[in-house]
Amino acid sequence: MTGIGSFPPALVFLVGALLLPLLPRRIQPPAFLLFPALGFLLISGAQTGASVVFPFLDYGLLVYRVDRLSLAFGYVFTLIALLGGIYGFSLMSAAERAAALLYAGSALGVVFAGDLFTLFVFWEIMAVSSVYLIWARGTKTSYKAGMRYLFFHLLGGSVLLAGILWRFQETGSLLFGRLEDSPAGYLILLAFAINAAVPPLHAWLSDSYPEATIPGSVFLSAFTTKAAVYALARGFPGWEILMWAGALMAVYGVVFAVLENDIRRILAYHIISQVGYMVAGVGLGTETAINGSTAHAFAHILYKGLLFMGAGAVLYSTGRGRLTELGGLARALPLALLLYMVGALSISGVPLFSGFVSKSLVVYAAERSHEGAVVLLLHLASIGTFLSVGLKLPYFTWFGPQRSLEPAGSLGGMHLGMLFAAAINIAIGIYPALLYRVLPFPVDYRPYTPAHVLETLQLLVFTGLGFWLLLGKLAAEPTITLDVDWFYRRPARVAYRLAVLAVDQFFTSWEFLALRVTRVLARASSDPIGYFLVLPALLARRLSIEIIPGAYDPDRYRPPVGFIVLVLLMCLAGLLVWNLFGF
């Protein structure tokens, strides 16, 4: 198929990442916006069924495949890249912009990949490019967090490659579709679960996202976990293990978010929680559930990006990011508060906001599948989300006790990016068809029924009442929350000594011994007779015993050449006699 619909949008981003650093600095910020805008136009012109096959060795790789599932993720990926560029218009360096384009482009490459090899290539580019957005902050903490982030994702990439090779050996096919229940399938599932931050494989997310640059955290919140959700929806719909894993994720992330003090770490834990809804929908596997997972991924990218924008505005203005250090910012940052609350109400599932029409679709699918326990867990997660992101975080950041903070710096570009993101979240909440029309399957669901609206408002009102009554006990404390990363952080020094220092010392000792033996053999081979005659003296000197004075001279006992020739002739004569007389 030819035309605009057959041109992979990922190439636009990858070319942009190469060209952008070569442009003059003044042109780079607006030029950055050109590439996601062009990518969005390409996706808008793409037709389902379009594909591009690339010959590689003896195989034809399906590097570009368009269907409704990939289009839905493609739309929102390009959209958040554009919004992130507007938000970080005056904040991002040339290298950071290039990394963001490469990151977004590789995520698009994943969702439009028709074969597992192409997916793997973009999967690895996504890991390497995204880590720079963490390191670009330039702190010791961000460097360490980035290293742990990179370790997890390279480990996941290794597992993914192993699963792909195993499956190829068994089936002879690299096409990416629904995967069968097999050892290779479980390896690929494990790799996707790492990127989706499924507990206990999640600590890399809450550890690293809060340490990224201010605009970098906006991009990080959008691509890695949602690309994994797409991959799960493509390869593992209906796997029951994902339904339970997702439901537990939703509650797990909320619990740790309530305990947190750092505002961006709170939002990071809520990524885990909200991705749990999507993973649970994939595990349910029905068309309604896949629609719900896709819709919630779409809405989540937009409102979570907006939430990180709001938190970033606070961090940029005050230099503080902990609830115990913030407070009384409502007068100084009123617009940031207003726009943040749009994201907070969206993630909380308040009517007329995007989360209400996406999250409820997943819950509705669980109800139709008669999974009462899953429905209960998702409702509990929704209550915790409103409690921590919709009430606790904004109260102790913009209200609460006065901290004598003096916000500095202009937020013009940041406000503009937040304004566009907020407008889209409200538009989707008011007119759900904007979202439902891009989902993989026809939607037979009406979110604005009296019963559903009343049920949601009841949960929100009673959660708000509980927050007000327990306000004193819900105040943030300057504590450190221990997560599963404790199990590899705590023994890290011991493991380093055993796995690195001890191994290094072992091989160093053997290398030293090999060098000494080599030197001895080299000296001995130059004059064997003389060396072994003077060897006792050398050993005595090493033991501080004087027996034979003088230094070793390799020529002192060297036999004459004629003697060596005579020995060789005698050996040759002996061989001749042996052969002639048959001894």
Task: Concatenate the DSSP letters of all residues of 360-386 into one string.
Answer: HHHHHHHHHTT-HHHHHHHHHHHHHHI
The whole-angstrom separation of Cα 182 and Cα 166 is: 10
Q: Is the pLDDT of residue 528 over 80?
A: no
pLDDT of residue 546: 46
- The pTM for the full model equals 0.84
Peptide bond before residue 200 is cis, with ω within 30 degrees of 0 = yes
pLDDT of residue 534: 64
Q: Spell out the residues 6+ positions from residue 453 whose beta carbon is closer than 8 angstroms to its own.
A: 351
Helix (H) or strand (E) holding 53: strand 51-56
The whole-angstrom separation of Cα 466 and Cα 473 is: 11
Please indicate whether residue 515 or residue 75 has the higher confidence score (pLDDT).
75
pLDDT class of 328 with cuts at 50, 70, 90: confident
Mean of pLDDT values over 174-200: 93
Q: Is the pLDDT of residue 545 over 50?
A: no
pLDDT of residue 518: 84
pLDDT of residue 564: 72
pLDDT of residue 3: 56
Beta bridge partners of 53: 62
550-580 as b/e, with b when 16 or more CB fall inside 10 Å?
eeeeeeeeeeeeeeeeeeeeeeeeeeeeeee
- What count of Cα atoms within 13 Å lies in the side-chain half-sphere of residue 125? 24
The whole-angstrom separation of Cα 156 and Cα 147 is: 14
Lowest mean pLDDT among 96-100, 373-377, 457-461, 555-559: 555-559
Please indicate whether residue 226 or residue 575 has the higher confidence score (pLDDT).
226
Peptide bond before residue 432 is cis, with ω within 30 degrees of 0 = no
Tokens of 470: 């327990």
Of the chain, the percentage scoring pLDDT greater than 90 comes to: 67
3-state secondary structure 180-215: CCCHHHHHHHHHHHHHCCCCCCCHHHHHHHHHCCHH
The whole-angstrom separation of Cα 152 and Cα 486 is: 15
The whole-angstrom separation of Cα 73 and Cα 80 is: 11
